[in-house]
Amino acid sequence: MIKIEHLSVAFDGPEVVRDVSFTIGDGEILGVVGESGSGKSVTALTLMGLVSESAHVTSGKIYYDDQLLLEAGKPRDNALYREYQGPKMSMVFQEPMTSLNPTMKVGAQVEEMLLLHDRKCLGESIASAPKQNEIQTQKGQLADAEGVKMEEAKTRYAVGFTGWREERKKEKARRKNRVLEALRGVGLREAERVYDCYPHQLSGGMRQRVMIAMAVILHPGLIVADEPTTALDVTVQNQIIELLKKINQEQKNSLLFITHDLNLARRLCDRILVMQDGLIVESGHTEDIFNDPKGEYTKKLISAVPGRTGKRKSPHEKIRPLVEVRDLSVFYRENANSLFGKTVKKCVVHHADFTVYEGEILGLVGESGCGKTSLSKAILGLNKMTEGSVTHHSNSPQMVFQDPYSSLNPMKTVGWLLQEPLRAQGILDPSKAMSEKDREAAAHDMLRKVGMSEKYFTRRPSQLSGGQRQRISIGQALITRPGLVIADEPVSALDVTIQAQILELIRSLQEELKTSFLFISHDINVIYQVSDRIMVMKDGKILEIGETEEVFQHPKDPYTKELLR
Amino acid sequence: MKYLVKKIVTLIMTLFLVSVLAFLAFQIIPGDVVTSILGTEATPEREEALRKELGLDQPPVVRYVRWAGNVLKGDFGESYRYSKNMNQMMPVAELIGDKLPVTLLLAALSMLIIIVIAIPLGVFWARSKSKILDVSLNMGTQTAMAIPSFFLGVLVTYLFGFVLKWFAPGSYVSFRDDLWGCIRYLIFPAISVAIPKIAMTARFLRNSMLTERSSDYVRTAFSKGASERRVSYVHVLRNAMMPVVTFLGMIIAEIVAGSIVVEQVFSLPGIGKLLISSISTRDFPVVEILILYITFVVIFVYFLVDILYRVIDPRISSK
């Protein structure tokens, strides 16, 4: 149905998509897999006619049912594209949080699809107006001929006009019904309420459902889904995938599914394309690719995916407790944003009770908003509004944050950044103060330990890749030789292959330095790979805590079971 | 409702604080109203008598409390300098009541001109793809922003008054005598007030729209097959207006507080002119009330902006 021939796209510079050709058959689910910067999103946006105007299609053609949509060297025909965008192909984007207009009601946004395209629906109402009038006029003439007064003919004409207005009202109600139907179709039970909501009143998963409702309401032949689940929690992710599958089965539309997550692609897609640096490096049926990958890159990608079969950290004996958390509740203040408003204390962690032992990695898994970060901040002492106790049996813990792009000061060099915790330690506790020379030596040593060469010492964070930055963050956390490092989603902003490297680094450093880690992640597979023990958290409560193998084999809590699915 | 009560309480507290500060400022700055009225040649007895008459012999706290009590009763006191007739001083309320409508009318007209011109101009600018247009609008607005307002006033007077002869400079008629004639005259000072603000608002709106253009929801709208025009007006404009509304609020507050220079150039009997002369003659009762008025206007306008904001952005009221 879709045919792309030798497509290349460039933004003022090198081509980001190179000689990409593929077809999508009727009702087929095609997965495009690749890491960030592989050109998969640009390909999809070019297909949809949404790529920005600074992008040039340097070669290739795009066909939709034998209709030429786009050809290199010719300007994009926006009018033609508008005929296709919506009724024939639609798109679901990655970020449900920002992909809906914040100042427009959700119902109106879905309805816009109908307003823009449903000529049939609109046409009927417009066409019906003169028809009705004609009938009335005819009747009027008839009445005239029969000798009835003109007055009555006029009222009848007026009746015709109100009839037309009624018709429009009905049309409006019908449109609303179609929107409600579509909302229900994507599993939004309270469709009436959602219809009148603004996007910010809905959760991420609900917003993504609204986006999907919008994409399917006109029953297009092709739906392009660009990382539709990446920004969502695991359990919601599963639901959205099931929904896309169901829609595909019911409506027989084709689906172009773009993702960095091989497991997801495997669950959903019939065929898979693997992209790297703008090139298609491998394509084939899903199971063929997974069972017998041909390309080096594909092999690397598949082996990098955290699974439950890969090698695990060697188990560790629980000997001495390092941090004891006893009946800890964490609160935060909800400011009423005014002089007189009451500040409300909200409990985000309820009675957490656990121990981190020396030299172990304790995995903490849970969805966004479950209190993982609040708990870790309380252990660090960054949050003072707590009840219960946290006892540390070593020096102060350090932290590795999720976003390596914003957690390093962009004005400083790597060397300076690595020394900063030592400087701070020296100020806090003069007995531990180190000379300039010792600090530098320690920083060089740490740089080597996190697997980076000497030359990076004088570079700034902006000159490093995401993975390298995360290495620096880890180095910063370890340089003071803390007993405990809290790593808050340290790999979730990274590509799979980089993620595998960082996990490997954490494992080896942990073996070498015998530091304990509290490793926080939403990805249960990542947790499985690195942790000795697992702690499952939901809505501020710790549901389950135990040896990794034990929890994976015999989960006790229904929520854990769902996570493990 | 709770929101309204909160706002009103904040308003009252701010007014009280500002009145105290203004009162204190008058105690500190050098210069004496008595010398200013009688001149330096007056005898000490005469000075003493006037001081007593104005109540200036009392300690500051007593004076403030007395003044504040009177204001609360609605008695704004009498001017030290302006006299109504031979044996009576001008009550402040009357004095300001005379000038206030001129300034308010001028402000309303200016605001109307700003909104009617700046918003379409900003949208047009953001949507235009022509390089030449962009450069010329950029230069034009920059010039309009840079011209000092007295010079702009002179230019407007010259252009509309002498070249085009659309109005006679200096022929201001009081709104009490001829409202329509007054408005016709006020249009030209209003244009002088509006020109730099139009430039600023249009630039601001353009930038805001261009920023919004790169948002994700705009891409979603395009993916539905919406036309460029529809995306600009239905989706982008409302979101882009949010920062502009705050900016317009700041402008309103500024204009309503008195466009001092423009009032001078067009010899309008407005608040701005009164404020300057009262400060230089230490006419304390007038200044104090004017400061309260300006404070009130600023807070009130921000209150309106706040409400408008809630109308435009549904996210705010639910927080």
Contact call for B239 and A103, based on CB within 8 A: yes
What pLDDT score was predicted for residue A381? 86
State mean pLDDT over A175-196. Answer: 91
The C-alpha of A482 sits at a distance from chain B's nearest C-alpha, in angstroms, of 40
Strand partners, A344: A334
Q: Is B318 on the interface with A (CB under 8 A)?
A: yes
pLDDT the model gives residue B24: 83
Please give the share of chain B, as a percent, with pLDDT higher than 70.
Answer: 97
Are B118 and B202 spatial neighbours (Cβ–Cβ below 8 Å)? yes
Tokens of A316: 């560790």
How far does chain A reach from its first CA to its final CA, in angstroms? 34
pLDDT of residue B119: 93
* Average pLDDT taken over every residue of chain A: 84
Assess whether pLDDT exceeds 50 at residue A124: no
Looking at residues A544-548, what average pLDDT do you find? 89
Give B221's contacts in chain A (Cβ within 8 Å). 101, 112
pLDDT given at position B208: 94
Least confident among A106-115, A422-431, A466-475, B195-204: A422-431
Spatial CB neighbours of A197, under 8 Å, sequence gap ≥ 6: A105, A106, A107
Q: A166-190 b/e with 16+ CB inside 10 Å = b?
A: ebeeebeeebbebbbebbebbbbee
Confidence of residue A128 (pLDDT cuts 50, 70, 90): very low
d(CA A183, CA A190): 9
The pLDDT of residue A312 is: 58
Q: Is the pLDDT reported for residue A145 higher than 90?
A: no
Interface size between A and B, measured as CB pairs under 8 A:
83
- Interface ipTM above 0.85: no
pLDDT at A127 over 50: no
Name the residue among B217, B234, B315 with its Cβ closest to that of A198: B315
Three-state secondary structure call for residue B49: helix
Q: What is the pLDDT of residue A126?
A: 43
Residue B229 to chain A, least CA–CA distance (Å): 13
CB contacts of B224 in chain A (<8 Å) are 85-86, 90, 112-113, 116-117, 214
Decide if pLDDT at B8 tops 60: yes
Binned at pLDDT 50, 70 and 90, residue A342 comes out as low
Residue B73, helix vs strand vs coil:
coil
> What DSSP letter does each residue of A47-75 carry, written as one string?
HHT-S-TTEEEEEEEEEETTEEEEETTS-
Chain B residues with CB inside 8 Å of A225's CB?
none
Q: How much is the average pLDDT of A540-547? A: 90
B313 touches chain A (CB under 8 A): yes
- Write the residue in A48, A117, A200 that is nearest to B223 by C-beta: A48
Report the residue of chain B nearest A202, measured CA to CA.
B315
User: Which of B11, B211, B216, B223 is the best substitution to test chain A (most A C-beta atoms within 10 A)?
Assistant: B223
**Using one digit for the tens of pLDDT, what is the confidence trace for B100-118?**
888 888 999 999 999 999 9
- The confidence score (pLDDT) of residue A204 equals 85
Q: What is the mean pLDDT of residues B176-195?
A: 87
Residue type, B44: P
pLDDT tens per residue across span A512-539 = 888 899 999 988 888 888 888 999 998 8
Instruction: Provide, rounded to the nearest whole percent, the portion of chain A with pLDDT above 70.
Output: 88
Task: Choose the mutation target among A45, A101, A198 for the interface with B, i.e. most B CBs under 10 Å.
Answer: A101
- Å from A200 to nearest chain B CA? 6
**DSSP-based three-state secondary structure for A333:** strand
Average pLDDT over residues A112-135: 58
Q: Supply the pLDDT for residue A125.
A: 43
- Sequential DSSP letters for A169-200: HHHHHHHHHHHHHHHHHTT-S-HHHHHT--GG
Across B74-81, average pLDDT: 79
Mean pLDDT across A278-299: 90
**In the predicted model, what is the mean pLDDT of residues A11-37?**
89
Q: What is the DSSP string of A16-54?
A: EEEEEEEEE-TT-EEEEE--TTSSHHHHHHHHHT-S-TT
| Average per-residue pLDDT for chain B | 85
Contact A525, A503 (CB under 8 A): no
Q: Label residue A111 by pLDDT band (50, 70, 90).
A: very high
Q: Any CB–CB contact under 8 A between B238 and chain A?
A: yes
Mean pLDDT highest for which of A315-329, A384-398, A476-490, B271-285? A476-490
Which strands make up the sheet holding A344-357, listed edge to edge?
Answer: A344-357, A321-334, A386-392
Residue A85 is given by DSSP the state: B
Of the pLDDT bands very low, low, confident and very high (cuts 50, 70, 90), residue B217 is very high
pLDDT at res. B262: 85
pLDDT (tens digit per residue) in A193-245: 999 999 988 888 899 999 999 999 998 999 999 988 887 887 888 888 999 99
Report the amino acid identity of residue A539: D
Range in A281-285, A467-471, B19-23 with the lowest mean pLDDT = B19-23
Helix (H, G, I), strand (E, B) or coil at A325: strand
The answer to whether the beta carbons of residues B244 and B293 sit under 8 Å apart is no
Whether A274 and A297 have beta carbons less than 8 Å apart is answered as yes
- Put simply, the answer to whether B224 touches A90 (Cβ < 8 Å) is yes
- State how far residue A330 is from chain B, nearest Cα, in angstroms: 22
pLDDT, residue A230, reads 81
Residues in A whose CB is inside 8 Å of some CB of B read 48, 50, 78, 81-87, 90-91, 93, 95, 98-104, 112-113, 116-117, 198, 200-201, 211, 214, 337-341
Mind listing the domains of chain B with CATH numbers? Answer: 108-270+305-318 (1.10.3720)
**Region B34-41: what's the mean pLDDT?**
74
Torsions phi, psi for B288 (to 5 deg): -60, -45
Round to whole Å and give the CA distance between B31 and B24.
Answer: 14
Highest mean pLDDT pick, A261-265, A433-437, B213-217: B213-217
Identify from A81, A112, A115, A226 which residue to disrupt to test chain B contact, counting B C-beta atoms within 10 A and taking the largest count: A112
- DSSP class of residue B159 equals I
